[in-house]
Each structure stands twice: as C-alpha cells, then as structure tokens.
Amino acid sequence: MSMLDLRGQIRVLDGNRAGAYGVLLCRPDVISSYPITPQTPLLETLYKFEAEGLLDAEMIEPEGENSAMGVLLGACAAGGRTFTATSSQGLSFMGDAYLLAAGNRFPIVMALGMREQVSPHGVFAGQQDAVLVKDHGWVQIFTESGQEILDSIIMAYRLAEDSDILLPVNVCYEGFYLSHHSQRVAVPGQEEVDEFLAPLKNMKRLKWTLEEPMVFSSYTVPAELFTEYRYKACAAHQRAKGKFDEIDKEFGKKFGRSYGGQIEEYKTDDAEIIIVTMGCSTGTAKVVVDRKREEGVKVGLVKVRMFRPSPRERLLEVLNGKKAVGVIDRSVCYAWGCGHNFVELKALLGDIERPAPIMLDFIGGLAGADITDQHVARVIDSTVAAAKGQRQQTVTWLSLE
C-alpha cells in the first residue's frame, strides 16, 4: 500500500494536497495542467499519485495553459472526465480556450489557486483572477478551508456532469492562505465517493466518437441559433443554483459536512446588520462576529460560496429587513471604484423590500495582506454606525485608512 494513499483517513494537509485528494477520489480520465504559483504542489501531488499507481488517468503535459485547456476540450468532447488547475496569469493565458469550455457546455472541473493579477506584479493571495472571468460562463465556487476545497471538488463533478447542467466549474481558493496552509482534513473513502458520484453514470451527454462524428465550435448561423445557445446556457446557470443546494445537502447526509449550498449563513436569524465575506477571511470574521455578539451587537455573517451564478434569491432572503450590510472584498472593480462582491450586492437593491439596507464596502487582503480581526471589528463598527444613521464613507480601503 502506498504511503500516499490517505483515503478514508484524517490527516494534516495543505489546501493543494487536499484538492489533489479530491481529484483522486473522483477518478478523472484526463488531466492536463501547466504549473504556476501557487497551484504547482497540487499538480505535483497528482503526478505522484499517478507514479504510485493510485491514479489511473492520462496525464498530458502541455507547453502552456492555453494548450492545457485545449487538451481538455477534446477529451471532454469524447466523453472523458477531466481536470486542470491554474492561477492568475495562467488563467488569463487560457483565454479563448476557457471561453470555449463554457460555450460548448463541457463539464470540466478546474482548481483555481487565486492570486493577484499584474500589474504591479504579485504572486500572493487575492481574488482578482477569479472575478475577472466571472462572466465567462463558468460556475465559480469559493472555499474557506482545505476541507472545503476537497469537498467542493467532489461536489463540482456532481454538479458539472449533471445532464441538466453540463457547465464547467471553478473551485477557487486563495493562494498561500489556503494553498500552502496546513489544516486538519478528513479524506473520504473511495467507496463513499463512488456512491456519491454514482448518479452521473446514468447521465447522458453528447460524445464525439469515430462511429458518430459531430462538429462543435463551428461558425454558428443563423443568429437565432446562436441566441438559442446563449439562452440555454443562461438557463443552465439558473438551474445550477438549486441543484447545488441539493448536492450540498446530499453531501452533508453522506459525509457529515455541508456548507449551506450557494451561501452559508452564520447567526443571521435575529441579526440587524450583516457582514458578507467570500473565501478564507470568513474564519476570522466568524470569530469577530462571536465577540461582537457577546457585546450585544446583533450581527450576522453571510459567506458567498457560489459566486457564479449569482445566489440572488438566497441573498435576498437573508438581506430583506436588515438595517445595514458591510461587504469585505478581496478584489477591485476599477469601473466602480469598489470590490466585485459589493457591485453584485448593490445590484440587488432594486428587489429588496423597503427600506433597503445601507451598504458599505471594505477592500482588504490585496496581494496577500492579512484581513485581521481588527479589520473585521472595524467593518462591524462602521456598519453598526451606518445602521444608526451615522454617515459613513461608502468604500473603505482597510490597509490604507
């Protein structure tokens, strides 16, 4: 038995290795990826699995990220289960192939070790690479821990390959904070994961074969047919939201861990103000929410787990009736001078029951900077002040002010 075979065991693993075990458990047919900081250890671990005979997959070494995705387009068209991983500039270099995966409804799963985009140059944690492709047609799931990375990869295959969905999925995690930080991780047993993914065996999807050749990614005319493709892709994204909630609940029953589906709610029932997070800063934020609760502050937290498609309906349920909302963003939307999550939440204001909550944005954690408990306390204090009618600035840059 290989020393690397930790299936069915509890171990201390960093996020990259946890993700690699998630991939191993899902039995992919083809893996093609190009190493880039900070996802490289995930890829190295997969090659070790293959060398030890644990992973029975075709490992294809491309000359770059665009080629890596090109390989998977062909493998997926032939009906294979596929996986890749990248970060930052690698995702940008994927470019057109990344779009082709979504447009062709190929259920590829990709681990995205998030880091800053140039320029200025930086290899440390941020969410800019992921949010820049938020409207490229991929489902995006953001994670908080190494355990959630592993579990989300398993759930990602269950969602992506569902015949009613058929969409590619990003499993996103911050570089270094999660990719290289070691935590307690329970690695499921192979039989359990096989049972969880078993419904996919009966799912139908088009497959390119020599016996039944077909054309994909061709020049599409007339415009009505192109429009139909777009419409059906949008409809699949909307179906993915409810489906993901169902998958999360089923996962919880099977493995004893669940994450709320599209969003996770923390102490929101009686909350007057809400703090919104996405990614690994959530753990720090929960600790501060607990402290503020002890001080009598009625604050709750919402973690956005499914960023794309937008968990609009779930967010409306939580935010209706609240006095103020403070959003912690680890990205920048240049056009609006705020963070991307803040833009998403502001878009909900027209559908929120009146009076709508006051919304504030707090940008922090760029280029690997810490989002500290002091930062989160400041977010809560400012949001409470806004709820009481005290004027606050709409956007605060935590590391600068």
Interval 288-314: pLDDT, tens: 999 999 999 999 999 999 999 999 999
Residue-level pLDDT at 277 = 99
**Residues carrying CATH 3.40.50.970, the chain:** 10-255
Domain 263-397 fold is Rossmann fold (3.40.50)
Global pTM exceeds 0.95: yes
pLDDT at 394: 98
Q: What is the pLDDT of residues 52-82, one digit of tens each?
A: 999 999 999 999 999 999 999 999 999 999 9
Terminal Cα distance for the chain, rounded: 55
- Give ranges for CATH 3.40.50.920 in the chain: 263-397
What is the spatial distance between Cα 85 and Cα 36, in angstroms, rounded to a whole number? 9
- Sorted by sequence, the CB contacts under 8 Å of residue 185 that are 6+ apart come out as 10, 11, 12, 13, 18, 21, 146, 147, 150
Contacts of 295 (CB under 8 A, 6+ apart): none
CA–CA distances in Å: residue 154 to residues 19, 109, 149: 9, 10, 9
Mean pLDDT, rounded, for 151-174: 98
Rounded (10°) angle between helices 146-160 and 223-255: 130
Residue 159, token pair as written in the block: 């969602």
Q: What does the pLDDT read at residue 220? A: 67
80-94, 181-195, 220-234, 308-322: least confidently modelled range: 220-234
**Cα dihedral angle (15, 20, 21, 22), rounded to 10 degrees?**
90
> Residues 391-400: pLDDT tens digits?
999 999 998 8
Instruction: Give pLDDT tens digits for 215-247.
Output: 777 676 678 888 999 999 999 999 999 999 999
pLDDT-derived band at 350 (thresholds 50, 70, 90) equals confident
Which of the listed CATH numbers 3.40.50.1700, 3.30.230.10, 3.30.360.10, 3.40.50.970 matches domain 10-255? 3.40.50.970
Average pLDDT value over all residues in the chain:
96
Instruction: Give the pLDDT of residue 221.
Output: 67
Task: Return the percentage of the chain with pLDDT > 70, whole number.
Answer: 99
Q: Cα–Cα distance between 385 and 396 in angstroms, integer? A: 14
- Token couple for 307: 């960023």
Q: Which of 23-32, 72-81, 118-127 has the lowest mean pLDDT?
A: 118-127
